[in-house]
A and B are shown apart, each in its own frame.
Chain A
Amino acid sequence: MNCETFHDRLAEFVSGELDSAQRTAIQEHLDACATCRELARSLQAAAAVVETGVLSAEEAERRTAGLTLPAARRTQAPPRVSPVLRYAAAILIAFGGGYLTRGWRTDPTTNTPGPRPQPELVTRQLLDRYARAANEYPESSSFSRSLLMLAPSDR
């Protein structure tokens, strides 16, 4: 075993996760390498300090035997809004925002107001943009997708 192999096994060695043959191989390397020996000893000492405060299951059970949850601090869980309602709200907001910001847009070349948008077409476009956002960013939340759906885009 060399230092590199030792470092690969260091975590298991310090935590005692190795079998006896693996431990023997590492011990032989530690007998020959002072640097690795010092590293292993210092980490084992740190692990021992961390474990000094660990109580046995029986002692922990004894200390918590009379413990009860305080009634005064109990609170009701906040009401959960179903995903369907959240999507419906997002579409409603998006539709309203899109309708207000995109309707009757003036054509700059002729300086005449554009045609009034059809609500069903706007909704279809927004749903398409939402689906596109979901495809492009599969890890995104529904809120993020709604933002992407509302973001200005030329596509």
Chain B
Amino acid sequence: MSPNVESCFRTHRAQVYRWAYAMCRRHDDALDVVQDVFVRMLERRPLLPSPAAALAWLRRVTDRVVIDRWRAESARAAREARHEPPATADDSAETRELGDRLRAALASLSEHQRLVLMAKSYDQMTFQQIAAELGIAVPTAKTHYLRALSAVRERLNVNLQAGRVP
């Protein structure tokens, strides 16, 4: 294993897990995503000159791995008519339902919309930082964020009073 990837794995595996868990809401899926992300890093050996570049690469690849897994699951579920992943200790029915609806909302977004939402909601980056990382204009980053939230609001039918999903 490249020492670079090994140290990157040690440093960032928890961060990648945070992103994956926030998207999937399932512990086992998030662990699988972490492993897939770092396997891709081993396979592709990307040039990552700085910690910021490494985080940007990892965030983008985490997003792709999660989306790829969702697509594969959807295809499998369509073949098997009904696919129910095994529940784990922290996967209550409510969590699973919320996770499924959030997943549908996130899957409906463009890649940039999802990446902006991840950077903003999961890492509290500023729009300036997000725009610089993605190579887009700051107003574009804001538009992506608002469109992503609008999609989540519509998919989850967010209750305005309680701030909860029904």
Nearest first, the 10 closest Cβ-Cβ pairs linking A and B are: A11-B142, A46-B153, A60-B14, A45-B163, A61-B14, A60-B18, A53-B22, A45-B158, A46-B152, A46-B149
Which of chain A's residues 38-87 have a Cβ closer than 8 Å to chain B? 38, 41-55, 57, 60-61, 63-64, 67, 69-70, 73-75, 77
Does residue A128 face the partner (Cβ distance < 8 Å to B)?
no
Number of A-B contacts (CB under 8 A): 119
Contact A49 B14 (CB under 8 A): no
Q: Which residue of A lies closest to B101 (CB)?
A: A49
Does residue B165 face the partner (Cβ distance < 8 Å to A)?
yes
Does residue B60 face the partner (Cβ distance < 8 Å to A)?
no
Does residue A2 face the partner (Cβ distance < 8 Å to B)?
no
List the B side residues contacting A74 at CB < 8 Å.
1, 39, 42
Contact A49 B156 (CB under 8 A): yes
Q: Which residue of B lies closest to A73 (CB)?
A: B39
Determine how close the nearest CB of chain B comes to the CB of A34; give it in whole angstroms. 12
Contact B21 A75 (CB under 8 A): no
Interface string of B141-160 (1 = CB under 8 A from A): 01101100110110010111
Stretch at the interface among A12-20, A23-31, A110-118, A135-143: A12-20
Partner of B121, one of A42, A47, A63, A77: A47
Partner of B150, one of A46, A69, A73: A46
Of listed A38, A61, A64, residue having the most chain B CB within 10 A: A64
Does residue B112 face the partner (Cβ distance < 8 Å to A)?
no
Interface string of B114-135 (1 = CB under 8 A from A): 0001001110001100000000
Contact B145 A11 (CB under 8 A): yes
Does residue A10 face the partner (Cβ distance < 8 Å to B)?
yes
Contact B150 A55 (CB under 8 A): no
**Contacts A11-B145, A69-B42, A74-B42 known; 20 new A-B pairs at CB < 8 A:** A12-B127, A14-B145, A15-B145, A42-B153, A42-B158, A45-B160, A46-B149, A46-B158, A49-B152, A50-B152, A57-B15, A57-B18, A60-B15, A64-B14, A67-B34, A69-B9, A70-B35, A70-B39, A75-B43, A77-B45
Q: Which residue of B lies closest to A77 (CB)?
A: B45
Contact B121 A54 (CB under 8 A): yes
List the A side residues contacting B164 at CB < 8 Å.
45, 49
Partner of A77, one of B9, B17, B43, B146: B43
Contact A55 B39 (CB under 8 A): no
In the complex, A34→B19 CA distance in Å?
35
